[in-house]
Amino acid sequence: MKLYDTKSRQLKETTATDGLLTMYCCGPTVYRDAHVGNLRTFLLADLISRVISLTGVKVRLIQNITDVGHMSEDFAGDDKILSQASIEKVSPLEIARKYEEKFHHDLSLLNIGIADSYPRASESIDLMQSMIADLIEKGFAYVGDDKSVYFDAQKFESYGEISGNRLDSLKPGHRYEYHNDGVKKFHADWALWKAAGERSEMIWGSPWGPGYPGWHIECSAMSMKILNQHVDVHVGGIDLRFPHHENERAQSNAVIGHEAVDLWVHGEHLLFEGKKMSKSSGNVVLVSDIMARGIDPLALRLCFLENRYRSQMDLTWNSINAADETIKRWRTKMSTWGQSSAVTIDSEIESAFENDLDTPKVILRLREIEKSNLENKRELFLYADQVLGLYLDRPIAARELTEQMQALLDDRMKARSEKRWADSDALRLQLEDLGLQIKDTADGQSWS
Ligand SMILES: [Zn+2]
């Protein structure tokens, strides 16, 4: 399979060793619900994993759970988990476990496959400490006067290769992480271990005194340990490219002495109704919001598939509704195309999947197959669905329209075409009383 590698800025063939591909995907910071933009990134790892599996290669996927150490500008430089814990008035661990469970629930609603393991930062402290000790010993890290341990950025010469943000272009104070507080040797050095200071919760003993880990070190420690010092494909959202992935790469490479990651894959941003989703603009959309409108959460999965993972996409309620209709239509048609559970490879779909995950092309091809005279439509759809994961063979409870329902639907269509909105609304109520759900889309009314 070919994927776009952010670091070399070109398509690269994935590698595997002895039939096994190792993959690492940066996981959630569990202090709030994952919004649909976060889920788009998590889906990316699932899609790659499914395509690779279809080629006969086994995938080992690790996704971390950040439950300590992720500081935030939103919380005035405080730990995200601790800040949310004080807002919800419960312990930090309760916050972390609550949102971790919700994260797993969201993944299952979107039919995102389960990773081989989900290591938690709070349970990997020893692992991080031993990596930090190793970095100090190898001369890549130092203990500051404040008893925090910092990575010595200038010691890692190829810093910035993923994002293009070279050290000489990073201005002091560029981000809150890059302030020089008088303790660091260089403003771009970052904390691997932070001294506890005033903090009394979520702290651990260490050779450098009580404290807690920085955010970036967890991904290096977990991936290098669990995946045996080599990651074939590293997945994350584009916002993690810098500084998170630059720092992760520096730490991992410094410890093992060679390139730790073969391919850096980044999923692009998601807009909602044309705007960046953010808590402050009040337009954060969760899977539960989609389900509250009676929409199958897999409609969201189809919307993502209709867009290439590395192009910015604008999600809208219209596109979600349209995807919901498409899934229903496909499931209905699948049941009329026979009962076979066999799959037939479609070479166009296969090469689209393997060519940098061109899912929009796959969806177009399915629409073509749908309209064609091919006799094995069901088998071709089932082939694609192994990656699409839309449960297209799920039977839908079919009910025949009665003559009365059909007549009312016809009347309503006529009323709408003549712009008699009051009549159209009254007819909708009559139809709903008969158990039909009516939806008006750009293509006219539809029912279920
Ligand atoms: Zn990470």
Q: How far apart are CA 114 and CA 118, in angstroms?
A: 9
User: What pTM was estimated for this model as a whole?
Assistant: 0.86
Residue 115 Cα to ligand 1 midpoint, Å, equals 15
Residue 71 Cα to ligand 1 midpoint, Å, equals 14
Q: How far apart are CA 148 and CA 190, in angstroms?
A: 10
Residue 220 Cα to ligand 1 midpoint, Å, equals 8
Q: Could you state, in order of their start, the residue ranges of all structural domains in the chain?
A: 2-267, 271-388, 403-447
Q: How far apart are CA 104 and CA 320, in angstroms?
A: 22
Residue 25 Cα to ligand 1 midpoint, Å, equals 7
Q: How far apart are CA 324 and CA 306, in angstroms?
A: 13
Residue 48 Cα to ligand 1 midpoint, Å, equals 18
Q: How far apart are CA 267 and CA 308, in angstroms?
A: 9
Residue 216 Cα to ligand 1 midpoint, Å, equals 6
Residue 24 Cα to ligand 1 midpoint, Å, equals 8
Residue 333 Cα to ligand 1 midpoint, Å, equals 42
Cβ neighbours of residue 194 closer than 8 Å, sequence gap 6 or more: 69, 148, 211, 212, 213, 214
Burial status of residue 174 (CB atoms within 10 A of its CB: 0-12, 13-18, 19 or more): middle
Cβ neighbours of residue 188 closer than 8 Å, sequence gap 6 or more: 153, 154, 159, 167, 170, 178
Q: Which letter does DSSP use for residue 201 in this model?
A: S
Cβ neighbours of residue 363 closer than 8 Å, sequence gap 6 or more: 302, 305, 306
CA neighbor of 315 nearest in space, from 286, 293, 294? 286
Residue 225 Cα to ligand 1 midpoint, Å, equals 14
Q: Which letter does DSSP use for residue 204 in this model?
A: B
Per the DSSP assignment, residues forming a β-bridge with 79 are 71
Q: Residue 440: enclosing H or E segment and its boundaries?
A: strand 438-441
Going by their DSSP bridges, the two strands 190-195 and 149-151 should be labelled as antiparallel
Q: Collapsing DSSP states into helix, strand and coil, what is residue 376? A: coil
Residue 244 Cα to ligand 1 midpoint, Å, equals 6
Q: How far apart are CA 132 and CA 59, in angstroms?
A: 29
Residue ranges with CB less than 5 Å from ion ligand 1: 26, 219
Residue 383 Cα to ligand 1 midpoint, Å, equals 32
Q: What is the pLDDT along the chain (448 residues), one digit of tens a residue?
A: 999 999 999 999 999 999 999 999 999 999 889 899 999 999 999 999 999 999 999 999 999 999 987 876 555 567 888 888 888 888 888 989 999 999 999 999 999 999 999 999 999 999 999 999 999 999 999 999 999 999 999 999 999 999 988 888 776 655 555 555 668 999 889 999 999 988 888 999 999 999 999 999 999 999 999 999 999 999 999 999 999 999 999 999 999 999 999 999 999 999 999 998 887 788 899 999 998 888 999 999 999 999 999 999 999 999 999 999 999 999 999 999 999 999 999 999 999 999 999 999 999 999 999 999 999 999 999 999 999 999 999 887 656 788 888 999 999 999 999 999 999 999 988 888 777 778 888 778 888 7
Q: Which fold has domain 2-267?
A: Rossmann fold (3.40.50)
Per the DSSP assignment, residues forming a β-bridge with 440 are 445
Per the DSSP assignment, residues forming a β-bridge with 237 are 267
Residue 180 Cα to ligand 1 midpoint, Å, equals 24
Residue 219 Cα to ligand 1 midpoint, Å, equals 5
Radius of gyration of the chain (CA): 25
CA neighbor of 46 nearest in space, from 394, 317, 355, 390? 390
Residue 381 Cα to ligand 1 midpoint, Å, equals 35
Chain-centroid distance, C-alpha 152? 31
